[in-house]
Amino acid sequence: MTSMHAKKDNLPASILASIRNRKKRLEAVLAAAKPRAEGTLIASYNVHKCVGADRRCDPERTSRVIHEIGADVIALQEADTRFGERTGILDLTRLERETGLIPVPVSGMSKAHGWHGNVVLFKKGLVRDVHQIKLPGLEPRGALVAELELENGGELRIIAAHFGLLRHSRARQAQMLVELMADRSEATTVLLGDLNEWRLGDRSSLNTLQSAFEAQPPAVASFPARLPILALDRIMSNRKGVLTNVEAHDTPLARVASDHLPIKAVLDLKRVEELTATA
């Protein structure tokens, strides 16, 4: 008979670590309420079409999580229905009124919030340009590229993406974004979204991204929301030293509002200004 101890030894290290850290989740909740570091808060959140762990579609609850995060720039995934006319699910007018977040405009999607479910919301600044990228693969996937001019004059490129479920598709999608970066100016760029890759190290389909996004903070577990063990959601940059404090937004509300936890990071605006001035 196999002992319980042997069974535990066969569990993936990430699962064992999550089980051991379960008692520390209260500390994470308290940490979510602490004052954030100085800078611009960047976040990514797969809202799962506003369907929570209780299987209820509750857009108002999702909006409360977004309000709770308090981000200056946030990328959402699965913010539209997937089939048919891809209708937006959130009340963006109310969200703007309550949080100050406004959506980056997209074209050709009359009823949708975003592009293939990707939405970029931001508080202060101007949108200089927007590009809607269709990503390769068997599933309909996309990336939204927004060229922003921040309130202080710093320029920032946001690439919000949702990669596919198939490893081969993710590898092709990552390569496409690397090629996209090669064809564009050297603006400070932040890539964020649900990249759907749980493998780390040599087996990861995201390794190609390292050539364009050399600043890849340690991956943080964000899925499933109630007991996160997989780092499906990522934030990274093409500039070293601009992202700090990368972590999951782990609160009681966030654990039930979606199957993913939001992740967030602080963007050092002073560093962005320096890089913009020397580019």
Query: For tokens 């050709």, what's the residue?
Result: 108
Instruction: Name which of 161, 89, 159, 148 is nearest 118 in CA terms.
Output: 161
Residue 41 sits in a domain whose CATH number is 3.60.10.10
Domain-located, residue 38: yes
Residue 32 to residue 74: CA distance in whole angstroms = 16
Domain-located, residue 6: no
Segment 45-64, tens digit of pLDDT: 999 999 999 999 999 999 99
Query: For tokens 């020397």, what's the residue?
Result: 278
Overall domain count for the chain: 1
Structure tokens at 238: 């093409």
Segment 91-139, tens digit of pLDDT: 999 999 999 999 999 887 667 788 888 999 999 889 999 999 999 998 8
Beta strands 73-77 and 40-46 are: parallel
Q: Is there a contact between 121 and 73 (Cβ–Cβ < 8 Å)?
A: yes
The secondary structure of 59-98 as a DSSP string is HHHHHHHHHHHT-SEEEEES-B-SSTT--B-S-HHHHHHH
Domain-located, residue 3: no
Residue 159 to residue 157: CA distance in whole angstroms = 7
How large is the average pLDDT for residues 199-219?
Answer: 89
Q: Is there a contact between 244 and 28 (Cβ–Cβ < 8 Å)?
A: no
Question: Which residue segment(s) compose the domain that 132 sits in?
Answer: 12-278
Segment 158-199, tens digit of pLDDT: 999 999 999 999 999 999 999 999 877 778 899 999 999 999
Domain-located, residue 5: no
